[in-house]
Structure 1
C-alpha cells in the first residue's frame, strides 16, 4: 500500500490492475462473457460504451502478451504523469470522457463505412491520454522502445498515425473515424475548449504549487518548472513594457508643458 500511495496516481494504478484482472478472468474462462463487454453496432448493449476497453485478454499468444505489457507500462508512464498533473478527480473525469467519446463517435459514424466493426481494448482511450501528455510535454524527449529518441510533439503525431493504421486495417475510413477523438484530446490539453479547461492541481493536491508535490517525478517537476518560468518571464516582460509606455508618456507630457 505504501508503494501505491507513493505513485500519486491511484486511478492509473487501478486501471492497470483492472486490466490485468479482467484479462486473467477472460483467459481462465476461455473468453466466456466477453461479448457483454465488446462494443458492436446496433446500440443493443449501451453499457458497452464504457466497458469495451476491458474486452481483451492477451494470454493466448506471445505477441499479444508483449503488447499488453508494453501498454500497461505506457499507461503507467503517461497516465501517471497526467494524473499527478491534473489531480485524481479531474483525471478520472478525463478518462471517462476519453472512453465514452470514441465509442460514441464510432457508433454514430461507423455505419457510414458499410462494414462491420467492433471496439475492444484500451488503446483508444490511452491514445487520447498520450496525446494529452504529448501536448503538455512537447519538448520532453523519451526513448521509444528504449532505442529511438522522440520529442513529445512528434510522439503525438506518431500516436495519431498509429491509431489510424491500427483501427483502419482493412477499413481506412474507420481508422480516421476512430481517431477523431484525438484532436479533441489535443484541444483540451492545449486549452482550446472554452468550457473545459485543463487546469493543474485538484482535490489531491489542493492549492499547493504543482512542482512542490512530492508525488511528482523529477523530470515532471523540471518540465512544469520550465512552463512556470516561461509564464513568469512573460509577466515580467509585460510589466516592463507597461512601465516603458508610462515613462514615454510622462516624457511627452513634460515636453508639452515646456512648450
Structure 2
C-alpha cells in the first residue's frame, strides 16, 4: 500500500509542449466556423476559327422565376458570374481598323470626322486572339456603323438618335450589333455574340443559346461604359436560322432588371 499523501512528481513541460497544449485548449474553446462550400465553374469551351456574319434573329427575354433555368432572385454576391471590363481601344486605332476592315465593304461612306462611341478588344473566334469591335458615328447625320476588325464583319444604318441612346426602363437593353456562325459537331463550335446599349442600373448580364428546345448553360457577359457584350459558344452544330439568344440582367443587389423582348 502506498501511504504517501503527495502525488508523484511530474517532470516540468518543455516550452514546445506548453505551446502545443495551449493551442489545443484554444482550438477546443473557439466556436466552430461555418465554411461555405466551394463553387466550381466549368472552363470556357475552346473555339476554332469561325467567321462572324451580321446577326439574323435575336430574341431577348427575361423568363418568369418558375423557369428552372432562371433564378427569381439570385444571391447578390456571385463573383464567379461577374466579368471585368474589356480592354479599351484608342480612338485613332479604332478609326483605322474601321476604315481598313469594314468601310470599304459598305454601300456608303461615313462623313468625316468620325466619332468613336465605343471600341473594345473582344474575344475572337480563335481563343488565342482578340478582335476590335468598334461603334463609330459619322458627321452630318451620315449614319452609325459597327465593325469587327480584322474579320471585316460590320454594318451601317442611317443615323437614328435613338440607336445609341440609353434604353428606356421598359427596354432595358437595345441591340446595337451582333454576329452568328454555325459550327460543326465535334469540330468547330457554334458562336453567337451581341453588343447592346444597356441601362445604367444593370450590374450583371448573362446569356445562353436556345435551339430546338435545348439550351446551353448561362454564361456571364461584359458590362462596359454603358454597353453590354455577350458571347455564347457551344460545341455543337446549330441551325443559325432557328437559334435564339436569351439574355437576363440584374442590378447590383442581384434583383432582376426587366428587358423587353425584341426581334431584330
Smaller-chain TM-score range? under 0.3
Which structure would you say has the larger RCO, counting Cα contacts within 8 Å and 6 or more residues apart? 2
Please identify which structure carries the higher helix content.
1
Normalised by the size of structure 2, how large is the TM-score? 0.22
Higher Rg of the two aligned structures: 2
